Structures are given as structure tokens and as C-alpha cells.
A and B are shown apart, each in its own frame.
Chain A
Amino acid sequence: MAAGSTYTPLATQTLGSAAASVTFSSISGAYTDLIVIANIAQSAGSNSLRFRLNGDTGSNYSATYLRGDGSTASSGRDSSVSSGYACDTPGNTSFNLMCIFHIMNYSNTTTYKTTLGRGSNAAIETDAVVSLWRNTAAVTSVQFALGSTFPSNNIAAGSTFTLYGIAAA
């Protein structure tokens, strides 16, 4: 890999108190892809970690997921929803959920944006999920919240989110 050009930490947030959402903003277009590593708990309930790009609250997201819950492997999807899935796997009140979230080719202005999420919670589920944002704008901000109502519950204090930039050259 090119020295200093990839897997560069752009920003990190460790929640000092529970929060409805976490946002990375003013993301530069200097990289090829983005990766967010999240290790989180939630204040109550059990919800998937969802995302919105550039603050878009419209029904411009869709997703297809593959998941295993310890007894069954299954797949499903959502069309025209108001947020994508960073990962389908739900969280809980322990710090069991980790999510590896990729935004590919995020700074181009000609194609819709595709994301890939990989969720792991050994108490509940493991999954891979692809999401699509039907917008050609460069991604300059990403917001995370729990559940389809964005948020359905708060993200707990102590949860961590780190944004990395991946450069092709």
C-alpha cells in the first residue's frame, strides 16, 4: 500500500453520553472509499444500525441482507426506505455489536452510491448487507442512528465510531 495514503483515520467519536445519532461531516473527497468501524451498545431495545448520507431523509435507500441468527440462515430486503443499513445485526445493551461499514467510490458524482455492511453480535446475529443510495452526489457526511425510525433508541455512552479513508493510490 502507498505510504500514508490508505486506512487513514479521519475522525473518531467515543460517546461520553447516550446520543440519538452520530455524524461525520465535512468528509473530504481525497480518498477512494470510506470505512467506518463501530463498536456499540444501545440504551434500550435491539435495533439495527442505520445510516443516512448527506442528511438525505427521503425514501432513497434500499438494502438486501444475508443473516444468520444461530438457527436459520435467511435473506431479505427493503426498498425505498428512508435510511440504509450500516449492518442488519441488532445491538443490545452490552458492547456486543461491531459493524464494519464500507462506502465505495463515495466522492464520484456520476453514480449512485453502494455500501457494504458487515455486522457481528454473538448474542443475536451475524450478517452482510448491501445498501444503495439513489443519489449521484459526492458523500460529504454520514449519520448513524438505531432503527428504522432513526432513532428508535439511543446509542449508549462508551460506543465508538471511527471513520477511515481508503485510497486507491
Chain B
Amino acid sequence: MANTYTLIASNTLSSSASSVTFSSIAATYTDLIIKASARCSTTDHGVNVSFNGAATYDRINIYGNGSSAGSDVVADLLVYGGMNNSSYTANTFSNFEMYAPNYTSSSYKSMSIDTTTENNATANNFTAMVAGLRSVTSAITSITLTPETGSFVQYSTFYLYGIKNS
């Protein structure tokens, strides 16, 4: 069996958590994928993604909220629409996927993030595509996801996969 799309680690929250970290990520793979299903304890829906503890990134996104679309650029990896929040219909969670190629390379680290929140309501729905870049040449060894405010609620799930090109 090809050693690819391998589950490296997972975390299903049995209680709320202020952040989720995958640490000591081995350099075994070529690319990394995170898949998350999350909900926030507050009325915010952004998720901060941090590699090796860093907070500064280049980011461009495009988003739609059910009535309009837009695009913006900022210097962090706060991903709007990364999770449903406390104002959403009960029991609804987001879908979140991040792809980070060549995470051990000596080049800058690019990443692609897709998020969706859906609520069966006219408000609070959000979908976004994000391009991120961390201008460092060291390998990624840890990834932390942190809610914009508050905590991830119980039953939020986070999976880290490794993709290997050989």
C-alpha cells in the first residue's frame, strides 16, 4: 500500500477547548491536509491557523455569505467561516480543509484552505477559499487552530493527514 493519505493524528473534543494543536509533525510526508468539523462557543466564526507558533502570514481570500461576494487581503491566517458559531442552528458544524504542500521544503510555505458554514437560515452562512503563505524556510512541525474568540465546542473534530508522493 502506498504510504499516502495517512492519518497522522486526530482530535475529537470531549469537552470545549481553547485551541487544538498538532505537534511533533514528522517530516515523513510530502504534503499535509487538515480536515475539521468545528463550532465556536461565541458569535465569531473565524479560525486562526498557526504554523510553528507564528502569527504573520500573507493571505488572500474570496468569500460569499449568501447575499454578496468579496475578497480581501490581510497579514494573518484568520480564516473567516472556519466554523459555525453559537448563533447558528443547533448541532450545525462547519467543514474546513487545509492543504499545505511541500511542508518540509526550504521554500516559503503555501497553503490552500476551503471552508463552509451552512445554517438553513438567511443569515450567518459563509463559504470561503483562502490562499495563505508563510514566509519561512523551516519545515512545519506544529499546527495550531484557535477560534477567533471563545472555544471550540464539544464534538468538534480535527484530523491531520500526510500525503506522500512516493
Contacts and interface: CB of A to CB of B under 8 A. Distances in A.
Contacts, number: 123
A9 B163 CA distance: 9
B131 A9 contact: no
Interface residues of A, number: 40
B129 A68 contact: yes
A88 B164 CA distance: 26
A68 B166 contact: no
A44 interface: no
Interface residues of B, number: 38
Contact of B101 (A6, A9, A39, A71): A39
Contacts of B59: 122
B71 A98 contact: no
A68 B61 contact: yes
Nearest to B69: A73
Interface string B98-116: 0101100101101110100
B30 A73 contact: no
A125 interface: yes
A68 B129 CA distance: 9
B10 to A, nearest CB: 15
20 contacts: A1-B5, A7-B163, A9-B2, A37-B99, A37-B101, A71-B73, A72-B70, A89-B131, A95-B107, A98-B110, A100-B99, A100-B112, A119-B131, A120-B110, A122-B133, A125-B60, A125-B131, A126-B62, A162-B165, A164-B163
